[in-house]
A and B are shown apart, each in its own frame.
Chain A
């Protein structure tokens, strides 16, 4: 079956530090990959996505590249801000799997950025 594995948190950084949150996946077919972000007290919202190998999704200074050879979709940001403190979820949607519209989410990684 499909699965998404994220690094466990919390990740604690100082403002302006470089961020990497690792995400690897297992899928039957050729999935679309997503990063969602959940700010405190809110629902998840899409941060970025990629639909094919070597695609780079980007938004708000965050980037992630679809690496089919390593089945990874690591999230990066060059300089984090306090306002980036949130929980980040890696997810996939595999059109080849039964129930192909159901997304598979990782457990989430909490990011805490200190001033």
Chain B
């Protein structure tokens, strides 16, 4: 398996622009997570999905942030409009889930480094 795939790997944009980050989870995984990592705040959970349904979005910082999972193999995180304080590395992770004796290990993608000027 190719692992969790994220695109783009780097994004530089100007304040006020819309940014869309993309994630393809590992096939067969039931859970998908979006995280943000900064030096100041560490690793923050933004939102997670179970079987394509958003379960907890309490970590989404503002209404400017939205996430969707239209099917089991694709998710997006959108920031509109973007601001300089959104600059961070955004990670997507997927997990099989514990059903059927599987594991709760999280598998992270390589991240998208976002810079908002």
Show the binding face of A for B, using Cβ within 8 Å.
32, 34, 36, 41-46, 49, 89, 93, 99, 101-103, 105, 107-108
A-B contact count (CB 8 A): 47
Task: Contact check, A107 vs B91: say whether CB atoms are below 8 A apart.
Answer: no
Task: Contact check, B108 vs A108: say whether CB atoms are below 8 A apart.
Answer: no
B109 at the interface (CB under 8 A from A): yes
Q: Do A101 and B91 contact each other (CB < 8 Å), given the known contacts A42-B110, A43-B110, A43-B111? A: no
Give every chain B residue within 8 A of A42 (Cβ-Cβ): 110-111
Task: Contact check, B104 vs A32: say whether CB atoms are below 8 A apart.
Answer: yes
Give Cα A68–Cα B111 distance, bound, in whole angstroms: 34
Between A and B, 10 residue pairs with Cβ closer than 8 Å are A43-B4, A43-B91, A43-B108, A43-B110, A46-B106, A49-B105, A101-B50, A101-B97, A103-B45, A108-B43
Give Cα A10–Cα B41 distance, bound, in whole angstroms: 16
Closest 9 CB pairs of A and B: A43-B108, A107-B42, A44-B108, A46-B105, A105-B43, A43-B110, A43-B109, A43-B91, A43-B111
One of B56, B97, B110, B111 near A102 (C-beta < 8 A): B56
Task: Contact check, A44 vs B91: say whether CB atoms are below 8 A apart.
Answer: yes
Give Cα A102–Cα B111 distance, bound, in whole angstroms: 19
Give every chain B residue within 8 A of A36 (Cβ-Cβ): 106
Closest A-chain residue to B50, C-beta based? A101
